[in-house]
Amino acid sequence: MRLVRESWAEEPEAASHNGVELARQALQVAGDDPSILANAAFVLANFGEDIGAMMTLIDRALTITPSFSRGWFLSGVLRLWAGQHDLAIKHAETALRLSPCERMGTPLSLIGEACFFKHEFDEAASKLLVSIQENPGYPHSYRVLAACYVHMGRLDEARAVIARLRDITPHLVASAAQLRSPADRELFLSGFRVAAGDAM
């Protein structure tokens, strides 16, 4: 999944197919293992499987192990993709509360992205900046922050973020296919296209 999302796969279509098949195989042997249930649901949702069914799988994982921090985080990601922004924030905050000593960057990126889709751009930028500080190698935080700055009218800062993104990945173009809400996709892509300019 990461190979496809970050444009690292030499054959993206084959890698996507392989990711889906491996996730389905994992589910066949998962039993009640919450980690397998949550990770497989995450991968399958990313590749376009029914988002409601995948959220149900993660809910099952959290029923089995309510203290499963990563499960709460992945649940938040799927809620974000489904357009349930407030629930995404709540689940990311639960993940942070359950595992406060783990790296905070990615859950904070999720919270920042949810705030972005709620048009709370100041709060989004604040969370995304801390996320980048905590986890500077995670490209998606830069992409969302750049789009956020564009919608705030801060074009120079948006382009500076894109320049920093170039330092960690040659692949600026971001997919928004996992976002089920057309409004969310348009908000992100319209900002990102302006920030990236001719690089798109």
pLDDT digits (tens, 9 = 90+) for 120-142: 999 999 999 999 999 999 899 99
Asked if residue 114 and residue 51 are part of one domain, the reply reads: no
Between CA 28 and CA 17 the distance in angstroms is: 17
**Each residue of 8-31: pLDDT tens digit?**
778 888 988 999 999 999 999 989
165 and 191 inside one domain: yes
Number of independent structural domains in the chain: 2
Judgement on whether residues 2 and 92 belong to the same structural domain of the protein: yes
| Residue 38 domain boundaries | 1-98
| Axis crossing angle, helix 34-46 with helix 51-64, rounded to the nearest 10 | 160
Task: Tell me, yes or no, whether 114 and 196 share the same domain.
Answer: yes
Q: Do 125 and 198 lie in a common domain? A: yes
**More confidently predicted of 49 and 175:** 49
Q: Rounded distance, CA 123 to CA 24, Å?
A: 37
